[in-house]
């Protein structure tokens, strides 16, 4: 997983057909997805419930790019080993999910994964200032986490601040929530390089007709790069 700051599109499988996850992953990768984003929710930290390590492990054999697992759960530490075993390449925990984010990031890296930290819309960039050297990715939430299809919240100032403090560190800035062709240019200009998109990628297509996935991915990428 070589580091670069080119724009990467990470479709969120939360917007895919739940009965065809494996086929959806293969289809969206074939149509140009750079990463696959997997949203894990516990019904406690966020008001929604998705799936856990067994589902992530089942998905792993279909993912040939980067499996980007976003934990919207609390606590986190007790599940790190299970998600490592499931095959996550990047494991992201929320800074708000527990009192010891430094320890959590250490544990994620210690389990052999890239370590991500996520910030809710109300959490300032400074919350991760003292753990930057343990981060491989910072996920800026541009919706309140828990559900797909929400309206975008502009976090351009936060993204730009993070980009400044990251400096030359090899840390991705990921945006999660409301990303589409209209909002992609805003977050890319501010300094983001990984764009999570759910409904904006999967809209209009299906496993049987995946061409719209490619059209959507190319449109978001072009908007961000333009």
- List, by residue number, the catalytic residues: 39, 176
* Burial category of 5 from C-beta neighbours within 10 Å (exposed 0-12, middle 13-18, buried 19 and up): middle
CA–CA separation, 94 and 138 (whole Å): 10
Provide Rg for the chain, Cα atoms: 16
Task: Assign 56 to helix, strand or coil.
Answer: helix
Task: Name 202's Cβ contacts closer than 8 Å, sequence gap at least 6.
Answer: 11, 15, 16, 24, 28, 213, 216
């Amino acid at each position: 997983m070589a580091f670069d700051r080119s724009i990467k599109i990470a479709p969120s499988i939360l917007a895919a057909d739940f009965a065809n996850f494996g086929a959806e992953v293969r289809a969206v990768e074939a149509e140009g997805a750079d990463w696959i984003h997997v949203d894990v929710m516990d019904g406690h930290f966020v008001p929604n419930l998705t799936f856990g390590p067994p589902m992530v492990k089942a998905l792993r054999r279909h993912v040939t790019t980067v499996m980007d697992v976003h934990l919207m759960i609390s606590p986190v530490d007790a599940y790190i080993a299970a998600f490592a075993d499931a095959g996550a390449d990047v494991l992201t925990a929320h800074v708000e999910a527990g009192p010891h984010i430094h320890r959590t990031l250490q544990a994620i890296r210690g389990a052999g994964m890239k370590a991500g930290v996520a910030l809710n819309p109300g959490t300032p960039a400074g919350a991760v200032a003292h753990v930057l050297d343990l981060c491989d990715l910072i996920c800026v939430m541009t919706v309140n986490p828990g559900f797909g299809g929400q309206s975008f919240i502009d976090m351009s100032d936060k993204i730009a601040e993070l980009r400044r403090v990251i400096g030359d560190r090899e840390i991705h800035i990921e945006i999660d929530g409301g990303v589409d062709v209209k909002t992609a240019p805003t977050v890319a200009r501010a300094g983001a390089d990984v764009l999570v998109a759910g409904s904006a990628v999967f809209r209009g297509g299906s496993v049987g007709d995946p061409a719209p996935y490619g059209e959507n991915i190319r449109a978001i990428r072009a908007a961000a790069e333009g």
